[in-house]
Amino acid sequence: MAEDPQRNFRSAYYEKVGFRGVEEKKSLEILLKDNPLDVEKLSTFSQRFPLPSMYRIHVWKVLLGILPPHSDSHALVSRYRAEQFDDVTAALKAMRFIHSATPPTEFYLRMYQLESQQLPRRTELRPPDENDENFLSIARAMEEIVDDSVDCYWLIRCFINQFNHKFGDSIPHLPKSLEHFLSQEDSCLLSHLKMSGGLDSLPYSLWFRRCFAGCLPESSLQRVWDKVISGSCKILVFVAVEILLSYKIMLMGMSQPEGVFDFLSNMPQENTDAIVTKAIDLWHKHCGTPMHSV
């Protein structure tokens, strides 16, 4: 039977945007047409397959609870979200916490502080602390991914709240997980990092508190956040492991912990897509894949 050129073109296109086959695209489209949406199946799909940009923001909003499972109420809920955004904006302007020249990320931080009852008095304003810097890093990355300011704020807010609620107790244990999996992948590199003091100087806050915001470019970061938002913080460990493996030669030549920290905090950006792809493969290798049917 002769090959269908149109089908071959479609297959090549779907591979380019993140699908390995037409059936995966059809599966996601079917899931997104359900009413109510099956959030568990959407979460499983996001863990098993990459989300192309045409669907990503919508899926994130559903998985983060910004939009409810019932699709017929999405328009109404979106309007309520926008109205709440406008109300908080007006309140912050009235209290003179923000003005026309306030950077969007600082604006989002003040909104978050007000809604979580953490807004300081204007007379007690201080430079950002570590938690504020974590928020601002994630906000800057999300701002590069999402064009609409209302969607951007709600995604930042709900992403951070979900991350802290679901994974807050697990984050302190991720460095040990990194050590465990690195020992299985490259014990020689692990030994060198231990002996040089580099293991204790890895940028854990950048990797595990900021979810690689400010470390990976947004094109790569989105694929990592797909997995975090769909329910896995362990993916952060495997991205960190793959970064170490990818720069093994350079790291093996470093004997000062400060050099390791500085290099990894400002790592090259040109091969991050390959690093994330290998990290996802490593994640599936060690943790398996969700068995829930999609």
177: CB partners within 8 A, 6+ apart: 234, 237
Pairwise CA distance, residues 272 & 239, whole Å:
10
Q: What is the pTM of this model?
A: 0.89
> What pLDDT shows up at residue 126?
86
Domain 74-166 shares a fold with domain 168-294: no
Pairwise CA distance, residues 212 & 267, whole Å:
11
Q: Which CATH number fits domain 74-166: 3.40.50.2300, 1.10.8.680, 1.10.3720.10, 3.30.1360.120?
A: 1.10.8.680
The CA R_g of the chain, rounded to the nearest whole Å, is 21
Half-sphere exposure of 105 (CA within 13 A, CB side): 14
Per the CB < 8 A criterion, the answer to whether 50 and 235 are in contact is: no
> What pLDDT shows up at residue 22?
60
Domain ranges for the chain, please list them.
1-63, 74-166, 168-294
- Say if domain 168-294 classifies as CATH 1.10.472.80: yes
> Which structure tokens are listed for 47?
């863990």
> What pLDDT shows up at residue 290?
54
DSSP state letters, 14-76: HHHTT-SSHHHHHHHHHHHH-SS--HHHHHHHHHHSPPPHHHHHHHHHHHTTSS-S-GGGHHH
> Which structure tokens are listed for 39?
């959030």
- Please tell me the chain's helix, strand, coil percentages from 3-state DSSP, rounded to the nearest 5: 70, 0, 30
Per the CB < 8 A criterion, the answer to whether 227 and 219 are in contact is: no
pLDDT in tens, the chain (294 residues): 444 444 444 444 444 444 454 677 788 989 999 999 999 999 999 998 888 788 999 999 999 999 999 999 999 999 999 999 999 999 999 999 999 899 999 999 999 999 999 999 888 888 999 999 999 999 999 999 999 999 999 999 999 999 999 999 999 999 999 999 999 999 999 999 999 999 999 999 999 999 999 999 999 999 999 999 999 999 999 999 999 999 999 999 999 999 999 999 999 998 999 999 999 999 999 987 654 433
What amino acid occupies position 136? L
Specify the CATH architecture of the domain 1-63: Orthogonal Bundle (1.10)
Pairwise CA distance, residues 169 & 32, whole Å:
32
Residue 211: how many CB atoms within 10 A of its CB? Answer: 27
